């Protein structure tokens, strides 16, 4: 089955050519194309305000929709290179990407895509008159955040995103700097955190620290926009160096070790639902050599950049929780704990979700739950928290078996609570304005 070059390439690489064409709907609405049409294609005799919507099937099951532009854009500079005919796409992940196989698509949305309920991460491909990778990455991120926030965050067509960033609709194939991406997220009712190792306080951060920060947001269901050099990505087929953004929407876990060994990205210029392992991310997650030469940056200095949008009440980034290492070390030195390092599963969640999680926990000694409850009673009210679930070892993390947790205030980054099952509860007593430790006996 051949549909269009861009779609056929996606079907072949990501779905092993197993997606089949269902029905075809002519004259369908696509908000993004309609905005493009109004601002550039209204006088094009080949253009209409509508798209062709194709319905996709996998083994006779509905698998999603893909909207095709009536006019295939060309690059503004030369007007001879065709860009993608694919506009908005709402398509389920490939069949092999399951938790049993070590794939965790954390940004999966229950979308209502033009009346079609589809569990997917929305995807789009460029029309370079209005955007390239950065603007499309913002569109994908906002679509995910809109779903997660129950409408508090609103997405927008990419020409409108482009205009909000620059004051005009046309990008002339130019992307956006990370400061503009941050501003766009904030303009759409998000808080935004930028991680840039060329700037303080992140200059001293190692690759592993940046990797863990990205993992924390992705684990929380928050898409991370990441800067990469396309020449280091295998799916770019030996392209020359070029700075590019992709959107991380999930992660992978090694089934043997239980470690987080990579991420699942959408590359809006190439493919949805890709996979990038940690070593490849370390190579690719840097600015190109040509940029370093131009800016006078030594070649061996890695410049890593990412940005993430969160609910607006969140003012503390994940790096504020790094003090848990010192606290666990001190408790170990005091003899209260017999180890100071635990594999962690970090998440930014609403306070009520934490309470629900805690109520579902099963403890070997049920009396410990009551003991823990005394500390929880002194828990100050905060809308969002960072929870670091502690596990005995990596495989327990994969099985979601916790031995304790560290809780931080998502608004100011202060430690609120730490507990280790059958050992202790460290908590902040808001009434007395001090930390206390209760040892379980």
Domain ranges for the chain, please list them.
5-310, 320-439
pLDDT number for residue 147: 86
For residue 172, pLDDT over 70 is answered with no
Tell me what the mean pLDDT of segment 338-353 comes to.
Answer: 84
pLDDT tens track for 95-135:
999 999 999 999 999 999 999 999 999 999 988 887 778 99
Give the whole-number percent of the chain exceeding pLDDT 90.
Answer: 51
* Class at the top of the CATH hierarchy for domain 5-310: alpha beta
Q: Across all residues in the chain, what is the average pLDDT?
A: 88
Give the whole-number percent of the chain exceeding pLDDT 70.
Answer: 95
Tell me what the mean pLDDT of segment 212-241 comes to.
Answer: 94
pLDDT number for residue 31: 95
pLDDT number for residue 397: 67
Q: Return the HEC string of the chain.
A: CCCCHHHHHHHHHHHCCCEEEEEEEEEECCHHHHHHHHHHHCCCCCCCCCEEEEEEEECCEEEEEEEECCCCCECCCCCCCECCCEEEEEECCCCCCCHHHCEECCCCEEEEECCEEEEECCECCCCCCCCCHHHHHHHHHHHHHHHHCCCCCCCCCHHHHHHHHHCCCCCCCCCCCHHHHHHHHHHCCCEEEEEECCCCCCCCCCHHHHHHHHHHHHHCCCCEEEEEEHHHCHHHCCCCCCEEEEEEEEEEECCCCCCEEEEEEEECCCECCCCEEHHHHHHHCCCCHHHHHHHCCCCCCCCCEEEEEECCCCCCCHHHHHHHHHHHHHHHHCCCCCCCCCCEEEEEEEHHHHHHHHHHCCCCCHHHHHHHHHHHCCCCCCCEEEEEEECCCHHHHHCCCCCEEEEEECCCCCEEEEEECCCEEEEEECCCCEEEEEECC
pLDDT number for residue 173: 65
For residue 47, pLDDT over 70 is answered with yes
């Amino acid at each position: 089955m051949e549909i269009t070059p861009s779609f056929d390439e996606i079907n072949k690489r990501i779905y092993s050519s197993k997606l089949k064409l269902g029905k075809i709907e002519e004259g369908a609405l696509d908000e993004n194309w309609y905005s493009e049409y109004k601002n550039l294609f209204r006088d094009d005799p080949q253009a209409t305000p509508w798209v062709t919507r194709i319905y996709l099937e996998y083994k006779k099951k509905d698998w999603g929709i893909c909207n095709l532009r009536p006019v295939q854009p060309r690059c503004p500079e030369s007007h001879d290179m065709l860009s993608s005919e694919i506009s908005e796409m709402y398509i389920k992940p490939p069949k092999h990407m399951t938790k049993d196989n070590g794939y965790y698509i954390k940004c999966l949305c229950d979308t209502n895509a033009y009346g079609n309920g589809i569990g997917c991460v929305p995807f789009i491909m460029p029309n370079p008159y209005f955007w390239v990778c950065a603007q499309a990455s913002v569109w994908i991120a906002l679509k995910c955040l809109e779903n997660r926030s129950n409408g508090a965050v609103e997405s927008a067509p990419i020409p409108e995103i482009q205009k909000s960033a620059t004051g005009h609709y046309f990008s002339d194939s130019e992307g956006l700097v990370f400061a503009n991406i941050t501003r766009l997220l904030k303009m759409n009712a998000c808080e935004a955190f930028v991680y840039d190792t060329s700037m303080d306080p992140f200059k001293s951060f190692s690759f592993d620290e940046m990797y863990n920060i990205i993992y924390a947001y992705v684990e929380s269901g928050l898409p991370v926009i990441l800067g990469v050099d396309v020449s280091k990505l295998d799916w770019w087929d030996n392209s020359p160096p070029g700075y590019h953004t992709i959107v991380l929407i999930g992660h992978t876990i090694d089934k043997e070790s239980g470690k987080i060994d990579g991420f699942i990205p959408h590359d809006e210029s190439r493919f949805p639902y890709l996979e990038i392992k940690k070593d490849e991310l370390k190579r690719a997650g840097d600015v190109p050599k040509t940029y370093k030469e131009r800016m006078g940056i030594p070649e061996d200095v890695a410049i890593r950049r990412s940005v993430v949008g969160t609910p607006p009440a969140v003012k503390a980034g994940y790096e504020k929780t790094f003090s848990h290492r010192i606290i666990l070390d001190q408790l170990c030195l005091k003899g209260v704990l017999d180890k100071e390092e635990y594999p962690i599963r970090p998440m930014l969640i609403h306070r009520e979700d934490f309470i629900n999680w805690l109520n579902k926990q099963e403890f070997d000694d049920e009396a410990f739950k009551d003991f823990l409850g005394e500390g929880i009673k002194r828990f100050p009210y905060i809308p969002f928290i960072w929870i670091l679930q502690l596990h005995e070892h990596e495989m327990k993390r994969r099985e979601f078996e916790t031995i304790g947790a560290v809780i931080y205030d998502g608004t100011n980054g202060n430690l609120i609570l730490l507990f280790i099952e059958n050992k202790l509860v460290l908590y902040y007593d808001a009434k007395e304005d001090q930390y206390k430790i209760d040892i379980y006996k």
